[in-house]
């Protein structure tokens, strides 16, 4: 996140910073889906 902040607000490269944030968002979404699938056995 600090890498995206540096590129977005310090260096004013908004396109690169938004691309970093999209990659992070997709990684968090995939991890969330994998963890939810793995834990679904133990939940109701």
- Residues 4/21, Cβ–Cβ less than 8 Å: yes
* pLDDT at residue 23, rounded to an integer: 97
* pLDDT at residue 41, rounded to an integer: 86
- Residues 4/24, Cβ–Cβ less than 8 Å: yes
Nearest-angstrom CA–CA distance, 6 and 17:
8
* pLDDT at residue 37, rounded to an integer: 93
**What residues does each domain of the chain span?**
2-39
Q: Give 1-44 pLDDT, tens digit per residue.
A: 899 999 999 999 999 999 999 999 999 999 999 999 999 988 86
Which is it for the CA torsion 27, 28, 29, 34, positive or negative?
Answer: positive
- pTM recorded for the entire structure: 0.76
């Amino acid at each position: 996140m600090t890498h995206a902040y540096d590129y977005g607000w310090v260096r004013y490269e908004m396109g690169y910073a938004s691309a970093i944030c999209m990659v992070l968002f997709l990684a968090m979404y995939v991890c969330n889906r994998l963890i939810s699938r793995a834990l679904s056995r133990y939940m109701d």
